Structure 1
Amino acid sequence: MTRKYFGTDGIRGLTNTPPMTAEVAMKVGQAAGQKFLRGSHKHRVVIGKDTRLSGYMMESALTAGFTSVGMDVVQVGPMPTPAVAMLTRSMRADLGVMISASHNPFHDNGIKLFGPDGYKLSDDDEREIEALLGTDIALAAPAAIGRARRIDDAQGRYIHFAKSTFPEALRLDGLKVVLDCAHGAAYKVAPEALWELGAEVIAIGVSPDGFNINDQIGSTHPAALQAKVVETGAAIGIALDGDADRLIVVDEKGKIIDGDQLMALITQRWQQDGRLRGGGLVATVMSNLGLERFLKGIGLELFRAQVGDRYVLEMMRARGLNVGGEQSGHIILSDYATTGDGLVAALQVLSVLVATGKPASEVLHLFDTLPQLLKNVRFAGGAPLEAASVKAAIAAGEARLNGTGRLLIRKSGTEPLIRVMAEGEDIGVVTEVVDEICAAVQDSK
């Protein structure tokens, strides 16, 4: 069955345009609620959101849907995606919902669903919910309608959890950290957690107004962080995205450190501490060959999953590994969390920094990357990758790389984009290959 609503990370789209409407959100609440009405206990769903304007509308619609089928709703307000997953488990809820479009602009929104175990729903679960969306869903009797309540201590619970992942023997005293929260879900909890651990926190991106989430700030727009780190003489800069499930770091010189280097650092440290399980790391097809070579050099293996942190996690669970993630900064540390957690990953990086006493530029650069270029081509419809001209351009690109690099072409699971990535020893060849394929995709419209 082809999925109409769910992509690689829940349901996402332009607000007030199908499927991201209040009407669809209410139906999703009813359908998901019906699927997870199991047993005779009182059923509960935890709903969190980021700071975009449409979050209020979507929260109300989802609440109406869940309560109408007999589920109680606990609203936790603006909270990171991993916090919702954690609270779903700790509150013994049947379901968790995060209302967010992650790193997208304010005008988009999304719905991510977590099962009672705190893990994102499987493809099969999402297909079942989609099937229910087209049916008449049985509503609860008047006396069985669910209740909705908002809890006030959710932020404190998550801060306590995040701090518990930081080594007890260490503190962040005297460490100047610039923290960019993207005007998003972590704008309160992340600065508080670092401050409580002793850091001198210079916070930016902590004044959400409903419209400025991810607007030239956050992990996908690190220029503001780079400038502030250099300006203030900070030891390190940390950037989260709108829902705080991804992390990008900037060293004291203002250089960006991506998820590949961060995963290498954590994996190596955990190997040294005897904490690493599974003999390696799960990343995706997007991760740089330099990471693969680095891991091989320290006796570890890189396992590659398809793009999407849920697929990384599935492979981690199947192979028994406890570190995984994406080049974009989604880092999953399954000893602590069931999904990517930017703050928890940042605390692991900071623990290495303070333990070694070395500058970030030295600690965070573990391998040289191969030249890699990724470009996105937006399309209006159709199937560009099926066009003969595009197939020919891809074949020509593979021939030019001639076994010295990689070529990866894929359709985005959340946006109407074709993503074209090439990697190899020669940046000139890599650039030409990507440009030629992108041109072919554009001409195929």
Structure 2
Amino acid sequence: MLSRTDLRGRVPSPAALRAMLPRAETDVDAVLNRVRPIVEDVRDRGVPAVLDHTERFDRVRPASVRVPEDALKEALDRLDPAVRDALEESVRRARAVHADQRRTDVTTQVVAGGTVTERWVPVRRVGLYAPGGLAVYPSSVVMNVVPAQTAGVESLVVCSPPQAEFGGLPHPTILAAAALLGVGEVWAVGGAQAVALLAYGGTDTDGAELEPVDMVTGPGNVYLTAAKRLLRGLVGIDSEAGPTEIAILADATADPVHVAADLISQAEHDTLAASVLVTDSAELADAVDAELVAQVERTRHRERITTALRGKQSGCVLVSSVEDGLTVVDAYGAEHLEVQTADASAVAARVRSAGAIFVGPHSPVSLGDYCAGSNHVLPTGGCARHSSGLSVQTFLRGIHVVDYTREALEAVAPHVVALAEAEDLPAHGQAVTARFGGAG
């Protein structure tokens, strides 16, 4: 079922590997011209534009953008007890992990009388996006809200697309997750118009202010990503998320049943989802292919999964050794990387590029999606080679606070003047010497 790339006996350069490895193609530039008019319309007309575009794309026109608080409470009250228990456990574990990511202010005494303090200040207001297309993602509410709250963000709004089935409100499980986390502000808006409204703000149908945010986080489709790109700078963003990915580095010790199940679980997200196996065992590759055929037939979303597994973004890469496999997965930079090899912990410790690493046979990606305690909002499209997933740090800004006495400044003044003259910026030096009666 998976196409094969045979790299046995050779290890291409990193540049060559990036070009030949399976990868979903998402051309954000191609949709910018379709998204730009939506963003500009929301900027100019506010909520009426949002509702017009919502009616066009989601086939429903909510009575208002902001979801009434009693709807949040009702959704939580009606939530399936098993789902509520699972969400509560997911939140508990996520809070435990993210609490250890908190930064503390640090003061460095550079010289006597001269200090630099690095203060960590949370973003004041953040918009958190929870998708609502092919699937509903209350887990994304957890993954966005928990690190933001842990960082100390004082104002949060969750956005999720309205659903005609639910009277123009977001899916009730999304509303319940927000209520469970103590988020009282939820907007029934999705896609590019959601990002635009978060960036520009507006006035709701009842006259209430919809305050703009300072930052937008959360995954979405290519249109939402294009809106993030257009509005980056006016607001901060976490990343430009592409289709989801799993790579599995496995050897002959891996169980093909587990490997196939994990590849399928990721393909279930989207027809563009990428499922990639990297192995030094042709026998394992054959066994996984056989398992894929058998297991896909038994899945609910077999058509979607089959399309994803047979797409050019998915495949099996044969290598000569686990060592060569490490080179391949580092070049690929997967959103999710599973290591199912002998001595998996030692192999995983050598990986340099992955959004998250799942070690051994009992740490599947789906655990990380829900209840590992880790965050599942991760870099895609190879961006794990240079970027990290969502964390408490995403919502913090480091601010240097410089505090020098007169004596400490006077002692360093000659160096400041020398460097200012070297850069032909004499007024910079004069700004120092003027404090001591000098002309610079």
TM range (shorter): under 0.3
Task: Indicate the structure (1 or 2) with the bigger Cα radius of gyration.
Answer: 2
Give the TM-score of the pair, scaled to structure 2.
0.23
User: Higher RCO, 1 or 2 (CA under 8 Å, sep at least 6)?
Assistant: 2
Give the TM-score of the pair, scaled to structure 1.
0.23
